[in-house]
Chain A
Amino acid sequence: MDKTIDTEWTSLLRFLPGPWREELRDLLCFELRIRDGRPLQSVGPSGGSVHAITVTSADIKHLVAAFSQSSLYAFEEELKQGYITLPGGHRVGFAGKALLDSDGKVRGLKDISGICLRVARSVLGCADRLLPALLDQYGAPYHLLLVSPPQGGKTTLLRDIARQVSDGGKRVCIVDERSEIAGCYQGRPQLDVGMFTDVLDGCPKAQGMLMALRALSPEVLVTDEIGRTEDVLAIEETLNAGVRVLATAHGANLQEVTKRPQIRDLMERQLFQRIIILSNRAGPGTVEFVGAPLISR
């Protein structure tokens, strides 16, 4: 997969403590790992490196305030998931002590001791070579399932497919439960997802798909990481409404994905017309397979 990585690193520097900025100014960085009392670690194209900066509690406090704009309440729902999204679609994950509600569900984090800053990577054009195989004679996308292991590039590829389909004139709706596809900040997509795309940000997938069907009348519905029973039911509903579905699932290969009964059911009924399988074999986004699924009953 061709990659032009736009790290937008400069826009992130302003969040960091003043003394760090000079040291990190020219860094080409995919991830920054910040742990209280330990050296700062970054991950770039050539792997991880450790910097001569020891993170202090004051640094962590500064970063939490800066990333949350001193408004923890505004990120309450996101903090339950352990992350917040920054302008530009960058993702900040937190490690700390979980706060549980009376049902035992996580309602937030306190005593934050670690931060993982993931720089949003928009790879415009990464779907160019695959797209002809994904569109029917009328230019509408086939129902697509994109399979890859974590960090395999499936969300990046899905975003570019959605962008190109949308720019091609189709009404696209993205149900972005974890704000990873469009990287929305205050409801606005920070990554290019196409001219004719609506985004339901932070919305549970199954609920969001049905909401989109009723409210936004999409021609193409895009969602990430399906797998639960309710997701499958919502996908069936979407397919019955004549809307094309582009979805992703975690897995190293098709066999692994179809071990999950919900996805196996979808595959056996041949509801997905195209499958893409990605791997990390030659770096993120290595295409292992594109085509119609071959699943024996």
Chain B
Amino acid sequence: MSGACFGLILYASTMVGLIIAKSYRDRPRQLQSIRTGIEMLVTEIVYAATPLSVALENVSQSQAKPAAEFFALTGRGIAEFMPVRQSWAMGLAYLQTSSALLWADLEALRLLGEVLGVSNRDDQERHLLLACRRLEALYANAVEEAARNERMWQFLGILIGVVVVIVIL
């Protein structure tokens, strides 16, 4: 096997390691961004009584991707008379493919989508704050996992590559 093949194996394994490390690094940031967005929704819904589609659009403008796109997609669906649950699920499907969020993170968001817009402001506030608390706990867990795994995967990728090359040799 040529040196080029070994180089390719090392490159591929290093990249896989870096991608996994990046997902550990991105998850807390993305969770934080969504939580901030939901806190802004509290203001939009509870204090300004802004209709959901407009509130989500406003929130999306102050966040970075992928949170911005999640809120914008959901808001657009609602503006086009799509049921909130369906529109929210569309946003979650986007997060599933375009973010570092895990199933537990998406599940916490899905629960919020079940009750969004269907009750008075007091009740909406309760559900939004509950979602914030859930996301806060997930964020703490994501920070812990990032501290434990991010650096490890940065090196583990290249290390696996080296081991594979040695085994082949």
Contact = CB atoms under 8 A, between A and B. Distances in A.
Interface residues of A, number: 15
Contact of B119 (A65, A66, A69, A73): A73
A76 B52 contact: no
A14 B82 CA distance: 12
B118 A76 contact: no
Interface string B102-136: 00000000000000111111011000000000000
Nearest to B46: A73
A73 B45 contact: yes
Contact of B53 (A15, A69, A76, A108): A69
A126 to B, nearest CB: 32
A71 B78 CA distance: 10
A70 interface: yes
A73 B53 contact: no
Contact of B49 (A14, A65, A70, A73): A73
Contact of A69 (B51, B118, B121, B123): B51
Nearest to A16: B81
Interface string B80-103: 010110000000000000000000
B43 interface: no
A76 B83 contact: no
B38 to A, nearest CB: 15
B49 to A, nearest CB: 5
Contacts of A107: 120
Closest 7 A-B residue pairs measured CB to CB?
A: A69-B51, A71-B51, A71-B52, A70-B117, A73-B121, A70-B84, A74-B49
